Chains A and B, each alone.
Chain A
């Protein structure tokens, strides 16, 4: 097949990222030609400020060198500006006459700095701050001249001013609004920033309007004059008052533009052969200037260029951080507040710390941090995900480490990424140190959590270090770390969220995995290892006894009804109701261990016995010989009910905890749920069964039973919340059952009760289970209906859909 021709105009970060994505998913469709107006290959524009400040070199910030284009057979024209698009003939023409034909055209022309229309703007020594050329001009000027004026006290202007100051110039920043960075900071934070920059020797002239730039006899700028008559010497004037999408070429070619090249959600312009990405576009009325949204666009554009036709870009939420070493500043969302919002403010001007959180309807909608930005990534996450913060409101200001949920494990208790040495382990599951993450981010040009997970495996297993990794990305990738996708899709197979899948299954009575994928237009033929198990769970929990369980959509443990071990053997854990056993059961277990030469026998934390190292072929016989029910120790479902001895024997016992535990375990024995469920029953407040860290914990007191929910003893140690106090065993079964059924119906797959509660709020659960008596009984009824007649997978292969073929290997 003849290859199609793809031409890209503009050689910046967004465009090249689009090509990278395209080459990854469809390497052979196009012959690619790239035109770049600058004489350099692709570099990280965000890091020009550290270059100006002398902290990095141009070499350090190259992302793709010329060799990269050659290796990928891309024809690269550097230093050639395209002046014309001939849409009828489908070709572009460069300034020097070079012509290239296209089947698809990708515009990535970026933005141009806005130059104030004042007299003298054309004098020598008046420049903008946009590219390597400008940066070199500033470095050269700093070597020759003494006075610089930067017009514009925004992000870019301040970074320029800081760099010039570090290079020895006397720098004055001129700014029209009343405080610095007015688009990112509120007045208080803006003034604190000004103070600390003044301490570094920068000068500021606020609320000043430039009248003209005054030149000397050689046509070189020598001073700036304001409307109030003030004049300040300047041999270098940097205009940093803003950027405009660069649409000149598109407009001249008749492509619809409106403060940006207008694109739809597939990044297509009004000419269907022409796509556009990056700072030059206007998507749903917004032009973005930060890198993460541009990369999201790149992904979508690549998908459509590859003719996959399924991605959509739906806009981004962005955050800002200033790249001036030693100044910590972060803002996101509606940081200025406004109607219907409330603010929580912490202000310590002497200590140089200011934090403002803006809240609306119990959700964080904006944040502005100065001096201490450690929790920036956490606030940003709360903001993006629209989490209900009602319950952590009183401690929200004090950061993630102080919201009553300590206990992140596996990284030595570090919570501050900046304070970690490079050798410190960030991800305790995969053994990834901070240094490894930092160098991967720098060398491979990673900007998102997902990228870092893929390349380093950090935070890719248990996820407890996600906050730390996000902080590291923020500090390393320059400040432009931001994330798109307000609501996270289930996986790469779809743009739909877990909630949307749940809703579609319920509303349209979908009964099979294939139905769901067809109905929701999955972009892969049969999903992946991440979405299939989730959908299968949603089906069987939404339509019990109607939807048919699909074993091939279950993780191996739930398919073979045992736990796979690192060497491919399995472990077998039979039920021991409430942790109580008998001589007969123990004898049978001992006989099975001997007969099948099972290498290890271990007592579990859940008061059961684990037989480790069983060969897969032996599983059916082991189960049969044991003659005990499956303990479902492998399931996303009820694991075990841990009990203490209770009033039967214990001299302190107030209630018969063993009996209640056994009743609960019998009632819930074959229950599947979004994630594993652990229950404990203690017979007195000494709480020997550790009810405080279980999904449902029951504690006997003299007058009845206290129920706690949402505890967790794993990755995030979480103390369960008090839920309700009850009198009888029957009541405990009903209330605990109703809570679990609500979790089964509303929880997202692989969401533990602790995370479910954090998402929906304890109040919601209380309303549904405690306050609505009919609702509670209905929930409990639905639970009993779901569990009614469920087979034991160890002893009823047919009814439990266990494919017995898996236990018999083939031979040749």
Chain B
């Protein structure tokens, strides 16, 4: 399936070592992160542990620490750092000319929550 990229913001709109929340029409929020290398990552804004909003966590290296119980989540995979277990959904991101794009098709796809 081809990507349907849509610009959501500029890289500069995300704080360095920080995140922004992207609202979706009906589905839960997506968090986009920016690290110190200006790499941008997108994850479902829910920690695999107790659903904490990852967008509110402290970003370091390529990880974010969940603000609720301090689980570390890998930004590139959405998975918890061992020995904790669990993954949150990750989303495709494209950065071009300082613009951050997300894939609308992916954003709108329904994900079976139980999976």
Contact = CB atoms under 8 A, between A and B. Distances in A.
Interface stretch (A414-422, A550-558, A598-606, A780-788): A550-558
B95 interface: no
A551 to B, nearest CB: 8
Nearest to A528: B60
Contacts of B65: 528-529
A525 interface: yes
A526 interface: yes
A803 B21 CA distance: 14
Nearest to B81: A454
Contacts, number: 93
Given A805-B13, A812-B102, A568 B18 contact: no
Nearest to A568: B53
B67 A524 contact: no
Given A564-B67, A566-B68, A805 B15 contact: yes
A526 B22 contact: no
Contacts of B36: 525-526
Contact of B15 (A524, A566, A803): A803
Interface in A483-539: 524-529, 532-533
Contacts of B67: 555-556, 564
Contacts of B59: 552
A529 B70 CA distance: 8
B56 A810 contact: no
A554 B15 CA distance: 13
Contact of B83 (A455, A524, A553, A559): A455
Interface string A794-812: 0000000001011001111
Contact of A527 (B23, B60, B68): B60
B23 A811 contact: yes
A741 interface: no
Contacts of A568: 51-53, 56
A532 B70 CA distance: 14
A86 to B, nearest CB: 38
B58 interface: yes
Contacts of A526: 17, 35-36, 60-61
Contacts of B72: 528-529
Interface in A420-456: 454-455
B20 A809 contact: yes
A811 B22 contact: yes
Nearest to B23: A809
Contacts of A49: none
A194 interface: no
Interface in B1-43: 6, 8-9, 13, 15-18, 20-24, 29, 32, 35-37
Interface string A543-570: 0000000011111100110001011100
Interface size class of A (residues with CB under 8 A): 20 to 34
Given A454-B83, A809-B29, A532 B58 contact: yes
Nearest to A513: B17
B107 interface: yes
B78 interface: no
Contacts of B69: 461
A812 B107 contact: yes
Contacts of B29: 809
A527 B13 CA distance: 23
Interface string A88-119: 00000000000000000000000000000000
**Max count, chain A CB within 10 A of own CB: residue among B21, B35, B58:** B58
Contacts of B50: 566
B21 A809 contact: yes
A202 to B, nearest CB: 43
B60 A524 contact: yes
B48 interface: no
A560 B82 CA distance: 29
A532 B64 CA distance: 13
**Max count, chain B CB within 10 A of own CB: residue among A526, A554, A564:** A526
Contacts of A812: 6, 8, 22-24, 102, 104, 107
A790 B59 CA distance: 27
9 contacts: A526-B17, A552-B15, A552-B17, A552-B18, A553-B17, A556-B58, A560-B56, A564-B68, A806-B15
Interface of A: 24, 454-455, 461, 524-529, 532-533, 551-556, 559-560, 564, 566-568, 803, 805-806, 809-812
Given A806-B20, A810-B22, 13 more contacts: A524-B60, A525-B36, A527-B60, A528-B72, A533-B58, A552-B59, A564-B56, A568-B52, A810-B21, A811-B8, A812-B22, A812-B23, A812-B24
Interface of B: 6, 8-9, 13, 15-18, 20-24, 29, 32, 35-37, 50-53, 56-61, 63, 65, 67-70, 72, 82-83, 102, 104, 107
Question: Which 9 A-B residue pairs are closest in the complex by CB-CB distance?
Answer: A529-B65, A529-B58, A568-B53, A556-B56, A809-B21, A556-B67, A552-B17, A809-B23, A810-B22
